[in-house]
Amino acid sequence: MLLSMEGDAVTDAPASAELSTAQIGVSEALAAGTAGIADCGEARPKRADAIKNRQRILEAAEEVFAAEGVSVPIDTVAERACVGVGTLYRHFPTKEALFEAIVRSKLEELIEMARVYADGPDPEEAFFSFVSLFASQVSNKRDLMDAIDAAGIDFKARCAEQVEELKGHLQRILERAIAAGAIRDDVCADEVVGLIIGACHAAEHSDLPEATCARMVTVVCDGLRRRATR
């Protein structure tokens, strides 16, 4: 499937072979794509339908990759998202760019929620609510992350800035809870992240009931609470 230009619009055009990553030849930094470049040289705002298509592709890709692995043909993602393959490639010119966009999207969601909880009126409730949300995201996306890891793709370096921002917000949430006397004062954000991820992974790779992950996270949270001294 090749892409053809008709005026300012990009349409799908059949070809004898699929476009390879080398043929697409664009940087992953442009994975999100743009609607085009205006005559003045400034990027045009994305049209509403383009934004919706991008989100549909991301959601479909999460489901498909988690269920069938990252080796699934890109046409399957396009079909699940109800868009043409050309539309998918316009937003995500390589499969790796699509993987990266998924990871970044999940991180941005967590960062936005962390910002909200960092300013919550009740520091204790904010901390445990965010920990619960984080655990839910880790658990729900585990199949997808395992599939990406199995493909030998490592986005730690590319997403390092977002990861550090997330940890920074979590550290603030944690420090407020410590100051309020709700959390023990000898833990840091990195340790909290490690404990939650460890509990989720252990629960998912055992033969225990489905609710075990939530229970193990609760046990971890109980261990983080500051106990009254006698």
Instruction: Tell me the domains of the chain and their CATH numbers.
Output: 2-93 (1.10.10.60), 102-224 (1.10.357.10)
Q: In this structure, are residues 53 and 101 in contact, taking their beta carbons and an 8 Å threshold?
A: no
Q: Residue 139 forms beta bridges with which residues?
A: none
Query: What local confidence, expressed as pLDDT, does residue 6 receive?
Result: 37
| Residue 169 backbone dihedrals phi, psi, to 5 degrees | -65, -40
Using pLDDT thresholds of 50, 70 and 90, give the confidence band for residue 142. Answer: low
The H-or-E segment that residue 125 falls in is helix 123-140
Q: Measured between alpha carbons, how far is 123 from 180 in angstroms, rounded to an integer?
A: 7
Give the DSSP H/E element, type plus range, for residue 160.
Answer: helix 160-179
pLDDT digits (tens, 9 = 90+) for 66-91: 788 778 899 999 999 999 999 999 99
What is the mean predicted confidence (pLDDT) over 1-6? 38
Task: State yes or no: pLDDT of 40 exceeds 60.
Answer: no
Q: CB neighbours of 51 closer than 8 A, spacing ≥ 6?
A: none
pTM of the model: 0.69
At 58, is the pLDDT very low, low, confident or very high (cuts 50, 70, 90)?
Answer: very high
Comparison of pLDDT for 70 and 188, the residue scoring more:
188
Instruction: Report, as an integer, the average pLDDT of 101-123.
Output: 92
> Span 197-213, mean pLDDT?
78
The letter for the amino acid at 35 is A
